[in-house]
Amino acid sequence: MSTDLRELLELASDDVPELDLAPEAWAEARRRNRAVVRRTVLGVGGVVAAGAAGLVLRERNPSPSPAPSTTTTARVAADGRLPTSVVEGITVYLAPEPPDEALLPRYPDAARLRIPRHLGPADLAIRAELGPVGGVAEPLRAVFLVVAEGGGFHPVLFAPDAPFQVEVPTVRITQGAGRQLALSPRSISDDRHRVVIPQPGSVVVLDARDGGVVTVDVPDPTLSLAGWARDRTIVVARGRDYGWLIDPRTGELRKGRSAVNPDWADLAQGDAGAELRTFSGTGELTGIRLLLGAPVVPNSTSVSNTEGWVAGGAFLPGAYQRAVERSQGLVAVHSDLPPKPRVLAAPTGPLVPKGAYRALAWGPRDVVLFESRSERAGFQGMVRRVLAWDVNEGLLFQVADIDRAAATPGEFSGIYTL
């Protein structure tokens, strides 16, 4: 009887199309795998580190196993290790939400770099004025701009070993509409004694050791950046259309034949996409290479180090937004290797403004120091922090909190450099 039943069932099913259940089963397995990974990432910090290592291994040894999906919320491990994702071959590190930045571990080289936990100009009542107290012999750690009475800004110099922070009231800095910040990563010279600041139609050079000020006229009212070249002699300035090479000792200047930059390298947006550009010690262009991988759009001043790394702020277009739901952050590229970027993606949300990250300087062991800006809850003013990103190890540290800005004469303007 069972044989007859089997034959009848086979005859009845001849006209029924066969169902391929393998794809459906595979899709269900992927869904369950993603759910497990998501719960693990959000719940256990230690497993995040292991997951990041696993992603690196999969990137080097691709396998058909599906990659875990990411969310806009990222949990950083206790040691500062960041969760990661891979977008078209590019490693993306997912930065934490602004309130969680205060929970990051302390940057271990902060003391070595003489960076205190709190940065900002001292209260007006306890500032000294450059001139009456003489010069500042100690190396500068930071320069702040404070609001000047009647408009513009005065520099305030911070040297960790000096007895006072020193305001320079004889120098009044103006900030033209639509210009970048008046202070850039190369505003302080490598000897940590001289400061250069661009002005519409000139550059101002201040020597903190004796308070000397030199102003060099430049026939360009659109100057938006000025910094010391790596030869410690030439000042490189850039306007909307031209670059300028200036010797402040003699006042000699010449227009750059092509792009100029005060640092060894920078990231820029060219006609064919994002570019890694390299420069000589006097700021002149030596080479251009297109960045590899998913496109990024550099949109702020870059900073490089002697080991070949360059980092700067960038907009993250469609591929990143689809994969990790984030649209801005920092990009780091090594100029001596194939220019494949690493990305630190900033979180999204109403408290994260446009241009949230700004590269400031490089620390030891390929760690880039950068400013992270966010809004206070209830939009009660801007929060500024200095964070440190280890681009090799994928670690994030807190370095310093920055003073709140005000529009009152003598108060911090929010503009500073390290």
- Residue 305: both structure tokens together: 């180090």
**Residue ranges making up the domain that contains 33:** 29-69
Give residue 4's pLDDT band: very low, low, confident or very high (50, 70, 90).
low
CA atoms within 13 A on the CB side of 210: 3
Average pLDDT, the chain: 84
Q: Are residues 116 and 36 in the same domain?
A: no
Same domain as 43, residue 151: no
Name the pLDDT band for 124 (thresholds 50, 70, 90): confident
Same domain? For 165 and 228 the reply is yes
Q: What is the pLDDT of residues 296-325, one digit of tens each?
A: 999 999 999 999 999 999 999 999 999 999
Q: Does 363 score more than 60 pLDDT?
A: yes
Strand segments, DSSP code E, in 280-394 are: 285-290, 297-298, 303-304, 309-315, 328-334, 342-345, 357-363, 367-375, 382-390
Distance CA 313, CA 299 (A): 6
Do the domain assignments include residue 247? yes
Instruction: Look up the pTM and report it.
Output: 0.80
- Asked whether residue 121 falls in the same domain as residue 251, the answer is yes
Residue 84 lies in a domain: no
Taking only the tens place, the pLDDT of each residue in 286-300 is 999 999 999 999 999
Average pLDDT for residues 140-148, to the nearest whole number? 95
Output the pLDDT for position 116: 95
Per the domain annotation, does 175 fall within a domain? yes
Q: What is the mean pLDDT of residues 172-192?
A: 79
Residues 160 and 212 in one domain: yes
pLDDT of residue 135: 87
Of 50, 69, 88, which closes a domain? 69
Per-residue model confidence as pLDDT tens digits over 64-112: 333 333 444 578 888 999 999 999 999 999 999 999 999 999 999 999 9
State how far the Cα of 335 lies from the Cα of 94, in Å rounded to an integer: 23
Say if residue 37's pLDDT is above 60.
Answer: no
Q: Worst-scoring range by mean pLDDT, 11-15, 116-120, 285-289, 387-391? A: 11-15
Same domain, 56 and 168: no
The three state secondary structure string of 100-122 is HHHHCCECCCCCCCCCCCEECCC
Question: Do 40 and 119 fall within a single domain?
Answer: no
195-215 pLDDT per residue, tens: 999 999 999 999 999 999 999
pLDDT beyond 70 at 274: yes
Would residue 1 count as lying in a domain? no
CATH of the domain at 254: 2.120.10.30
The answer to whether residue 82 is domain-embedded is no
Tally of structural domains, the chain: 2
Please check whether residues 175 and 242 belong to one and the same domain.
Answer: yes
Tokens describing residue 152: 């513009």
Question: 267 with 386, same domain?
Answer: yes
pLDDT digits (tens, 9 = 90+) for 217-245: 999 999 989 999 999 999 999 999 999 99
